[in-house]
Structure 1
């Protein structure tokens, strides 16, 4: 992730800048990994809580925070999206990018995001998703999903994530669906959705 991630980040830069610009106060980033998002929002928030189930990622996240001149703002926690070790209403925003494709229970992860948000808080997401049913890409995704899960550490390319977010109890959901220009087998992760929801 540390080596390959930056090579793909340019594809999402404009959308992430737009999504992250309104973030203020305390931000919880779930599935922070090596923290490629930090440099895009660290300077205009007060506090960052990074949650990842893999403690081996914490060192990379600290490096990213230092590079973004935000090491003093960052607190790292080992935890799962489905059971965030945080108090109710403790965050102004929750960020998940390319996380809901791997969690064991999307509904529970979203319920946890809502729980830790303050009233009116913002849930920001960017995820690869299933192609519409009936498209050739949808069929390909289902055929290759076992391989995607194996090589992607449990990742699924067949999830209808936007529908799950819309059913998660947020007061509003604003989302954009888009498809990356990817050829070959990696086209299975081309369909994406990005947006923000309010508690």
Structure 2
């Protein structure tokens, strides 16, 4: 099916930040709008809007407002209403060309209204397109459905945000200037450009890269990636990564942060990339839980990590780890972790992986490289 003027959701509404009420007046105004459209909502739920179309709108608006709870619930309800997993993935990417034209028009109109917080009319061209596809009555009902789910999104995000203020703050990031100087020399040898290109091939949508180092991965992201958010805690390496991010075809933003407390809302990203990161983080389980939190249902994890050896090197690796010698030299690196088991234990499904040796001659280490994925929905 060919594209039309409403084939994509405007990038401005695809925000990774959860939308919240600006205060009590904002919340009560939204509630009043929902109550005022009660009779229209009844008609929408009694067949005025086909269930699959209604749930597609709910999923799209929940995504635009970055509401994890509503996204998960309506993702499941959409599948039950007959929306295909592929169509839901397309909605998640903001590319709606595969949807039927009426549903496409409804989704684009609804997300535009949500982006305006229902304070102003939708774009005139989008409104005219939706009216011609849906008719006046169904357009009114779609508008009411969008208002209802937007109210639920902002209510949940506001409450969740308030509850999270009691959580421990992310630990301060540490500088490792000596390691950073050495890593500038070794990073291209620790993982070749060919290995990086192969690992990143086929990625789509919005990607978060953890422990980006000096940014050697950046040039290898395919054009199917819309945006990369790269997190690097080490100041010198972060500065190098920021330089590497300039002028790339794929927009790349480099920020400070830690894998155990990833900046960003729940369900913010389509994929996560980790290269030689899970060996270093103080708490693998917490880092993987954070990756799981920021990935959308069905999101990918691309990994390239060195792991514990299965031969006579393993006792030496354990001794180097427990003695503290290797972690001190390697900015917290550990040689003897069973990272593949940790990824599985975090709830990811390993789709494919390979085992390889990589490193400097006789100092090579066993590595794993592969793809893991979150289930489309959680029980």
Tell me the TM-score normalized by structure 1.
Answer: 0.87
> 8 Å contact 1:174–1:195 — kept in the other structure?
yes
Decide which of 298, 319, 325 is 1:120's aligned counterpart: 298
Structure 2 residue 312 is the aligned partner of structure 1 residue 130: no
In the alignment, structure 1 segments of 5+ residues that lack a partner are none
1:34 maps onto 2:209 in alignment: no
In structure 2, which of residues 242, 262, 277 is the aligned counterpart of residue 62 of structure 1? 242
CA distance in 2, matches of 1:157, 1:116: 27
2:203–2:222: 8 Å Cα contact kept in structure 1?
Answer: no
Q: Which runs of 5+ in 2 are unaligned?
A: 1-182, 375-379
In 2, Cα distance between the equivalents of 1:109 and 1:23?
Answer: 21
- Alignment correspondent of 1:3: 185
Cα distance change on mapping 1:172 and 1:159 into 2, 3 Å = closer
- Say which structure is richer in strand: 1
Q: Does 1:143 align with 2:326?
A: no
Cα distance in 1 for residues equivalent to 2:257 and 2:347: 23
1:163 positional shift:
0.7
Distance in 2 (alpha carbons) for counterparts of 1:115 and 1:159: 22
Give the deviation of 1:181 after TM superposition.
6.4
- Change in Cα spacing, 1:24 to 1:32, as seen in structure 2 (3 Å) is same
Which has more radius of gyration? 2
What whole-Å deviation, never above 9, does each CA across 1:85-108 have from its counterpart, x for those lacking one? 210111011000000000011011
Summarize the alignment of residues 1-199 of structure 1 with structure 2, pairs less than 5 Å apart: 1-10=183-192, 13-41=193-221, 43-66=223-246, 68-70=248-250, 73-132=251-310, 135-145=311-321, 146-180=324-358, 182-184=360-362, 186-187=363-364, 190-199=365-374
Q: Assess, with a 3 A threshold, how the Cα gap between structure 1 residues 161 and 172 changes in structure 2: closer, same or farther.
A: closer
Question: 2-side partners of 1:120 and 1:196: how far apart?
Answer: 12
CA RMSD of aligned residues (A): 1.9
**Secondary structure of residue in 2 paired with 1:176:** strand
Distance verdict in 2 for CA 1:67–1:141, change over 3 Å: farther
* Higher share of residues assigned helix: 2
Cα distance 1:58–1:181, how it changes in 2: closer, same or farther (>3 A)?
Answer: closer
Which protein has greater RCO, CA pairs closer than 8 Å, 6+ apart? Answer: 1
Secondary structure of the residue that 1:58 maps to in structure 2? Answer: helix
Hey, what's the Cα distance between the residues in 1 that align with 2:262 and 2:338?
23
Q: Which moved more, 1:103-112 or 1:168-177?
A: 168-177
